[in-house]
Structures are given as C-alpha cells and as structure tokens.
Structure 1
Amino acid sequence: MNTKIGIFSFFAGAGFLDLGFETTKGYETLFVNEYHKPFMEIYKSSRKGLKIKEPIFGHNTDDICDFLNEAKTNELQKNINTARTKFDLIGFIGGPPCPDFSVGGKNKGIEGENGKLSGTYIELIVRNSPDFFLFENVKGLYRTKKHRAFFDEMKLKLIENGYYLTEKLINALDFGAPQDRERIILLGFKRNALLEMGMELNGSPFLKSFDWNVKTIYNSKDVLSKEWPKQETYVEDGLKPMPKGIEKKLTVQYWFDKNNVVNHPNSKHYFQPRAGLIKFQSIQEGDDLKKSYKRLHRWRYSPTAAYGNNEVHLHPYKPRRLSAAEALAIQSLPINFVIPEHISLSNMFKTIGNGVPYLAAKGLAETISVFIEKIKNKELKHAEIIS
C-alpha cells in the first residue's frame, strides 16, 4: 500500500482498535485521546513493549467535549493541517462509550451521558472534515428502534456535510477472533477525498461498492451453525479432547495456548471469588447462558467479552475467574501486549471488555486499505446506489 494515512484516535481505551491500524502497512497514529487516565497509561505502556512509536501530536486525556470549544478546535485543526503536508489521507477512528445503547447497560440512549458522546464524536468529524472516519458501537444502536432513530439522525448529519457512508454489523468471529461479538461499524469518506482519488460519484450518498468481506476469514453464520460442544461436567484440570468438526482457531483453548497465558505477565491478575469456591465449582463447563456467572468451554468460542454489570466469566477448568492474560487472548491481542501490573483489576478488565478485538480491528484497517487502493487503481469508479 503506497497511500500514507494519518490516524487521529478518540475514545482510544487501551488502544486495541488503534493497534489494528498501527500494524497495517500505510497507517500511522498521530494523535490519541482517552479521558480515563489509567486506560491511557495502559495504551502508552503497551506501545513501548510493542515498539510502536509515539504519536507525533501526543497522548491527550481531555474530555472530548473540550474539542468543541474554540481553542481546542483551533489546536486540533492546526495539527490536522500539519499532518496533511506529510500524509495522503487523514482518518478519525473511535468507538464512543456504549452502555447507553446496550441492553446489558443503562439503555438510556442519547439521553445518557455516554450516548451524548456519540453525538459529540459525529460533531467533531463534521467540524474537522477528516478524509474518512470509523465509528464503532454496540448492535443496540443499530437494531433497537428508539436508538436506530438517533443513528439515522447522525448519518443524515454526516451526509449533509459531504460524507458518503457504508455500514455493517460485523462479528469478531468473521475476522478470526475467538468471540461471538457483534458491533455496528459506520464508515464515511469525504466527497472531495473520493473525487481526488479518482472515484466518479453519482447522487447516492451510500457506497455499495465497498466490500466488507474482502478480509474476512470466516462467515460467522456458518461458524455459529456448527455442532459446537454444549455443557459438560466441570472437572478441575480435567482433560477433554478436541471434538471433530469445529474450527480449532476459534476456540478459547487454542488462544490460551497461542498466547501462552500460563506464563504471560498478566497471568496472575484475576479477581478472587466472593461467592466462594463452591459456587465456582457448581457451574458446568460451557454453561454461558446465565446473566451473571458464565463458564467458558475450552473447545468453543467465548461469548462477548463483557466483564462489567455483574457478568462473571469463569475459566473452563479452573475454579476461578478469567485472568487478564486469558481475557486479552480472547480479544485476540498479540502475545506481547501486556498491561502494567500496578493497574487495578477493575481498570484492567473494563478496558479489555470495552476494546475492539484486535483481529477485527486489523481486518477493518485492511478492508479500508483495499477500498482506497481499488479506487486509485481505477477498479472502483462509482459510488453505486443501494438497491
């Protein structure tokens, strides 16, 4: 990929989404915003371990709403203008906090404090006109009727400000992460950027020619329809051979082995049981249907990595909760992604659960790259009307 793309990241958390872009040729993170300082500390520390250079415009822990005031707007615009002298395209990426659009959270929608941040992010995009943006959120924003109206309003605002859009409800399984996790991804490309790259535009503001599956590895519907093992008796340190007919690389055990979680620096970071050992031993391996205590099955993918709202994920064959090392593996992070040991357990698991699975993030970055290169190579000429 010859196109140089500078990334401005918002709501960065520990940077799982950013890492997908940073490890894809052509991208460089130039600016990082994350309000919660412990998350930013994890972000910065992990990058040192991964030998990724620091963003040239720094790490910022201001409230994103501050970027709508004049001084901050001018500073951000100055940085964007400077970046344009060295990069072919500028992109904004971010996943605003999503509990207000989640059934498992408050479900307050735009009225909730976190819901309002989605609107703030869209306003930030409109005011600063990046060449493209990525917006990530929970499926409730896309599927729930009352939230869908807000989602449609945001899209209309973006279209009115010159963006051509495409959206997809993705599943982390599609990209090889061992987790049944659906998220809505909205992408937008500025009209002028598309024209400058050589795309011929018609009256439709939707990009039907964007291929969302060009970098997927699996079809999640096919994966979910396989005969995966169900609930089995929990046996501490018990052995269970891998059943036939499953996708080994999508299993919890495969990723535990791949990331050598037993010897990972975060292997000892897990919550001690409050309910007592008997409670932990009473739940069968693979019983992940309860609202609170869910025991993963070693030869199956994990449910959505959500470690808040009283949701407790148990180790398949140990009488304890998952360790941070195991949770990072389920989020498909590289083995050398490490969280500093002084970070509180609450902050460790919150940022892990909030993050975009690394393989999904990398797949999205690569998918955007393919789209851009196809336009430049004259393989895509039209923003086709959606039928």
Structure 2
Amino acid sequence: MNRQKKISIFSFFSGSGFLDLGFEKTGYDIELVNEISAPFLEAYIYSREKMNLSVPRFGYQNLDINEYFTGQRKELMKHIKEVREENRVVGFIGGPPCPDFSVGGKNKGREGENGKLSMNYVDLIIDMKPDFFLFENVKGLWKTSRHREFYEEFKHKLHSAGYCTTDRLTNSLEFGVPQDRERIFLFGLQKKKLNKTQYQNSEILDFPWENQIRYEMDEIRRVNWPLVDDFNPNKHIICPNECIPELTVEYWFQKNEVYNHPNTYDHFRPRAGLTKMKSISEGDVSKKSYKRLHRWRYSPTAAYGNNEVHLHPYKIRRISASEALAIQSLPSEFELPHDMSLSNMFKTIGNGVPFLLSEGIATTIKEYLSLNKMI
C-alpha cells in the first residue's frame, strides 16, 4: 500500500501562527517560519511551546521577505532542495500585511510599503517555484477596482510562470467561526504537476472551495439574529431558538472557558470612557468604535486597531485577549505571552486568519493534492 507523500510548508508573514496552526493540525509539516515583527514571532514561539509543538526544522526567521532575494536566497533554496530530496511536496503559505488594500486602512494600494509586499511574495513564489502556494488578503484587494487591477496583474505573472490558480472571497462564518470576516484566498499549483490535457489551454483550477464549508451564507443571513438589547451587566439571556449556537460569541466564550484562560485578564483598562461604555446597548455595532458585541450573535471582523474598540456583551469593559482568541476560533490551549504588550496582543489577534477557516482550507488543499495524485 502506497503511503501519502508528506507536505512541507514554508510560512511567510506568519504573525503569531494562526494560519500555520490550521495547516499543522491537518497534517502538514511547518518547516520554516518567517515574520518581521519580533513580538509576533516571540508569541508564535511561545504558543507552540505551550501546545507542545515541535520547532520548525529550519527555524524561526525574523527577516524582511526581501532578504530571500539577496543574502538568504541560497539558504532558502538549500532548504527547499533538502525537502524535495525526501520526495516531499513543497508549499508556500502567507498573508502579506494588508492596510494598503483595506477599505478602512491606508488604501495606498500597490504604492504603499505593505502593498509592495504582496508583489514581493508573488516574486518569491515565482523564484523558488514551490509545488503550490496560498495567498491571503483583505477583501479590498478583490472588491476595489484599482486594487483589483493590481491583483489581476500579479495573477497574470503567476500564470506566465507556470502556475494555475483559483481564488475565492471567503467569509469565516462559512467555516463555523463566530465572526463576519471576508478575505480573499488565492491558491496556485504548478501546471506541470496537473493533467496536461485538462489544463493545456486554461490557468483556472477546478478547486472545490466549498467542500469544507459548514454553513451557506444565505442560510446564515436568513437567521433572525437578535439585534440590540438593553445593556444590563451580568444579566442572563437565553439563546434564541433560531440562532446557530456555534456562530455566537457566547458559545465560544463557554467552549474556550475564556474566564479561566491564561489571557483572561489581558484587556485594556481605560481611565476614562466608562460612562460611554455603559450607555451602549448589547449588540449595538453601528459605529466604527465602541461596538458592543451581542452574546448570541457573531462578532464583526476582529479588527482592534485604529481606535476600533469592541466591548464585552455583558461586562463593563473591552473584550480580553482570551475572548478575542475565541472569536478567532483558536483552540482553548492557544495562549499569548504575558509580557507581550496589549497593543501587540490585539494587533496580532486581529491580523490572524481564523483557525477554523485555515483548517478548512488546509483540508481542501490536501484532498485536492491527493485527487491529483501529488501526495
């Protein structure tokens, strides 16, 4: 009986490892981790130690991705050659920083420093030629016309370099995450690894994006979700029958035991603003800042920067790191270091790919590689 080939993952723009964890839990081997932010990388290392996960074979690299075109190029090529000699499949995964494409961010697009990193990642893929890659970014890259032009340009570069691709604007709610978060995912595979007849005149993969989806968006939108209730600290409210419990923040607070979690006391304690907090109804997320979550509804996108404050449904405070991690559907054993600043905690949480979304896409990719006899 033939054994499946193992899959080696080289991770770029890794943050604190949410995307990587989804792949690892699905059976991929994380071989190299690259993250330019030292605090995020330290959190990545800390969380892995707490979960008893092994150190990546080629370690943690606190580098600008451009280093892989200069001083680190030969080293990276050497690592890729090593895993190929073991008859492994090589995959690159990453989500370049996205404020330059975000509707609520800098919106500088391809000219912004972060915008340029997207093309750097594409150029690295073309240079190193992994068997497959995954690119993740904000919906603005897909939905905003001038950013979409840039996106189509680098897709064309990938096609010219011998990759077939497929993409999808995906909402994390579809995968059971209690968060309304849309992201673009681009998956690519070397054409020469595929059935040549089928892809002779096409660069578009027949990739089954919806295989691991748990809920259709139409189904979610049809639910009569609770909207706004008077804010009453610690008041008990029963989950309405028509709700989908798995998609509510309270379900995840209970599932992850957020009040017993190591990061439960990691939240901002403002000296002012308590009066304003008390005046906001449970479920009122109508404003950019000071959104109070509803316990029996999903959260807006986990974005905690640019003065966007998310309040606890029934406590007079902002949400804690443990609650934000639950909203990102992380396993309860995932934790961040206590000496990490609160700003960095919430930034790395907000930047991360929801765990269940990552796990679902990783599973679909693995099944697709198997279907195409690559593993």
TM class by shorter chain equals over 0.9
Residue identity opposite 1:204 in structure 2: S
- Counterpart in 2 of 1:17? 19
Contact 1:5 1:87 in 2 (8 A): no
Q: What residue ranges of structure 2 are gaps of 5+ in the alignment?
A: none
Q: Does 1:299 align with 2:296?
A: yes
Indicate conservation of the 8 Å contact 1:67/1:124, yes or no: yes
Q: Distance in 2 between matches of 1:67 and 1:260?
A: 41
Instruction: Report what 1:384 is aligned to.
Output: none
Q: State how 1:202-213 maps to structure 2 within 5 Å.
A: 202-207=200-205, 209-213=206-210
Q: 1:255 to 1:146 in 2, by over 3 A?
A: same
Per-residue deviation, 1:66: 1.4
User: How far 1:6 sits from its partner (Å)?
Assistant: 0.1
1:1-387 correspondence to structure 2 within 5 Å: 2-25=4-27, 27-69=28-70, 71-195=71-195, 200-207=198-205, 209-376=206-373
Deviations 1:245-294 (A, max 9, x none): 11001100000000000000000000012432111101000001211110
CA offset at residue 200 of structure 1? 4.4
Render the CA deviation track for 1:178-223: whole Å, top value 9, x for unaligned. Answer: 000000000000122225xx8843210101x211011111112321
Conservation of the 8 A alpha-carbon contact between 1:18 and 1:29? yes
| Structure 1: distance between partners of 2:54 and 2:194 | 29
Kept in 2, the 8 Å contact 1:6–1:87? The answer is no
Contact 2:178 2:329 in 1 (8 A): yes
TM-score, normalising length: structure 2: 0.97
Q: Does the CA contact (< 8 Å) of 1:199 and 1:375 recur in 2?
A: no
Provide, for residues 143-178 of structure 1, a one-character-per-residue CA deviation record: whole Å limited to 9, x for no partner.
100100000000000000000000000110111110
- Which stretch of structure 1 is more off in the superposition, 369-378 or 212-221? 369-378
Percent identity between the aligned chains? 54
Structure 1 CA distance for aligned equivalents of residues 179 and 328 of structure 2: 7
Q: Which amino acid aligns with 2:38?
A: K
TM-score under structure 1 normalisation?
A: 0.94
Deviations 1:18-62 (A, max 9, x none): 00000002x100000000001001101101111111111110001
* Contact 2:98/2:138 (<8 A) preserved: yes
CA apart distance, 1:3: 2.9
Go from structure 1 to structure 2 and tell me whether the alpha carbon gap of 1:47 and 1:87 turns closer, same or farther (over 3 Å shift). farther
Give the secondary structure class of the aligned counterpart of 2:11: strand
Q: Which amino acid counterpart does residue 74 of structure 1 have in structure 2?
A: K
Question: Where does structure 1 lack aligned partners over 5 or more consecutive residues?
Answer: 379-387
1:363 alignment partner AA? G
CA distance, structure 1, for counterparts of residue 172 and residue 224 of structure 2: 19
Q: Contact 2:134/2:186 (CA < 8 Å) preserved in 1?
A: yes
Write the distance in 2 (CA, Å) between the matches of 1:147 and 1:337: 34
Offset of 1:347 from its aligned partner? 0.5
Between the two proteins, the alignment pairs up a number of residues equal to 373
In 1, are the aligned partners of 2:193 and 2:374 still within 8 Å (CA)? no
CA contact (8 A) 2:178 2:247 kept: yes
- Structure 1 stretches of 4+ with a deviation exceeding 3 A read none
Distance in structure 2 (CA, Å) of the matches to 1:179 and 1:6: 30
When residues 292 and 138 of structure 1 are mapped into structure 2, their CA distance, relative to the original with a 3 A threshold, is: same
Between the aligned partners of 1:225 and 1:161, the Cα distance in structure 2 is: 43
CA distance in 2 between partners of 1:205 and 1:199 (Å): 12
Distance in 2 (alpha carbons) for counterparts of 1:111 and 1:275? 38
Amino acid at match of 1:129: K
Distance in 1 between the 2:53 and 2:327 partners? Answer: 22
SS at match of 1:100: coil
Q: Which sits farther off after the overlay, 354-363 or 209-218?
A: 209-218
Shift in Å, 1:83? 1.1
Q: CA RMSD of the aligned region, Å?
A: 1.4
In 1: Cα distance, 2:245 partner to 2:16 partner: 28
The CA distance in 2 between the partners of 1:203 and 1:254, in whole Å, is: 48
